[in-house]
């Protein structure tokens, strides 16, 4: 089974030619040996390709594998400091799409540091493109092809194994700060992983992550609440969550059905995504 649609293939070819031109100019001498990775899934891919020996830094979202935590941290991917990035002296930056802010990117471009932004689509084919893109930039296309094939096969098997006749309605709650529920609509990583795991997004009538009213949460009638397994100020206990007025009337509150998973593992769309699909399916349906 192939994951490459006509639209995806057209976009990928455009990106690929740009990356080939960049990779060619970079490899006139030696391949880049001081690579900075921005984005947890990008870092995971670099490790999965066996090219981690070239890494000199990472961003805060790059927490897997454990060895990555030993690398210098240049800050959160959406709030990068140009000074922090420059301090690790990279000769190539591979960044997940959406990295910023624009002011920091402008400073880095002015410093003539090659930067490639990796497309981030929350689909199996998008993940394959991401792996292939990173492989082209690093000059290890053969490794990337092998990894992409392995991941594609695993995703196909996981998705097929996760099909159910009666999907549960799943609501992904990003946060409950200030007593307001921030939840996931369509076009998000949460929406994609829920569907791949055999669930139905209970709030698929809007795009992105948005605060939702108490009435909307109650009307969505989720069977299960899905959340990231967080600590500290962003954590919400089961008791506090299900005591919220919006949650009380829901089937999820009646059965106290909640699934918590590591955020990068669940939403990263990296090499471990097939495992995440299987784990979420098991958490939703047992087995």
pLDDT at residue 119 in the model? 87
Whether 169-285 and 6-159 are alike in CATH topology: the answer is yes
pLDDT at residue 31 in the model? 79
Helix (H, G, I), strand (E, B) or coil at 76: coil
| The residue to which tokens 């670099």 are assigned | 46
DSSP structure string for 222-241: -SEEEEE---GGG---HHHH
Quick one: average pLDDT of 252-280?
97
DSSP structure string for 253-286: HHHT-EEEE-HHHHHS-STTHHHHHHHHHHHHH-
CA-to-CA distance for 93 and 91, rounded, in angstroms?
7
Quick one: average pLDDT of 125-146?
94
pLDDT tens per residue, range 232-256 = 556 789 999 999 999 999 999 999 9
Please choose, from the candidates 157, 189, 184, the residue with its C-alpha nearest in 3D space to the C-alpha of residue 270. Answer: 189
DSSP structure string for 35-60: EEEESHHHHHHHHHTT-GGGEEEE-T
* CATH number 3.40.50.1980 is the correct assignment for the domain at 169-285: yes
DSSP state of 179: G
**Domain boundaries 6-159, corresponding CATH code:** 3.40.50.1980
Contacts of 114 (CB under 8 A, 6+ apart): 22, 25, 26, 32, 91, 92, 93
Domain limits, the chain? 6-159, 169-285
Please choose, from the candidates 91, 88, 77, the residue with its C-alpha nearest in 3D space to the C-alpha of residue 35. Answer: 91
Q: What are phi and psi of 194, to 5 degrees?
A: -60, -45
pTM for the whole structure: 0.89
pLDDT tens per residue, range 82-126 = 999 999 999 999 999 999 999 999 999 889 889 999 988 899 999
Q: How would you class 48 by CB atoms within 10 Å of its CB: exposed for 0-12, middle for 13-18, buried for 19 or more? A: buried
pLDDT tens per residue, range 32-56 = 889 999 999 999 999 999 999 999 9
Residue 240 near residue 207 (C-beta atoms within 8 A): no
Contacts of 251 (CB under 8 A, 6+ apart): 169, 221, 222, 223, 257
pLDDT at residue 19 in the model? 54
pLDDT band at 217 (very low <50, low <70, confident <90, very high): very high
């Amino acid at each position: 089974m192939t994951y490459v649609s006509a639209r995806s293939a057209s976009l990928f070819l455009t990106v690929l030619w740009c990356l080939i031109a960049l990779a060619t100019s970079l490899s006139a001498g030696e391949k880049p040996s001081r690579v900075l990775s921005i984005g947890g899934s990008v870092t995971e891919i670099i490790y999965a390709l066996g090219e981690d020996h070239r890494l000199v830094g990472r961003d805060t979202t790059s927490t897997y594998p454990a060895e990555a935590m030993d690398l210098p941290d240049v800050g959160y991917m959406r709030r990068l400091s140009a000074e922090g990035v420059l301090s690790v002296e990279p000769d190539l930056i591979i960044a997940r799409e959406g990295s910023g802010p624009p002011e920091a990117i402008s400073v880095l471009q002015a410093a003539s540091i090659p930067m490639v932004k990796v497309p981030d689509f929350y689909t199996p084919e998008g993940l394959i493109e991401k792996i292939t893109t990173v492989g082209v930039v690093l000059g290890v296309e053969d490794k990337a092809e092998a990894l992409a094939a392995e991941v594609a096969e695993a995703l196909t098997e996981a998705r097929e194994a996760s099909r159910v006749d009666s999907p549960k309605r799943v609501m992904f709650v990003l946060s409950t700060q200030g007593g307001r529920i921030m939840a996931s609509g369509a076009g998000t990583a949460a929406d994609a992983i829920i569907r791949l795991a055999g669930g139905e997004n209970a709030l698929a009538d809007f795009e992105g992550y948005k605060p939702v009213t108490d009435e909307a949460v109650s009307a969505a009638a989720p069977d299960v609440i899905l959340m990231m397994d967080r600590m500290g100020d962003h954590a919400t206990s089961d008791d506090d969550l299900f005591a919220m007025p919006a949650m009380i009337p829901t089937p999820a509150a009646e059965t106290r059905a909640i699934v918590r998973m590591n955020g990068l593992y669940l939403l990263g769309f990296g090499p471990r995504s097939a495992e995440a699909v299987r784990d979420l399916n098991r958490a939703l349906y047992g087995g």
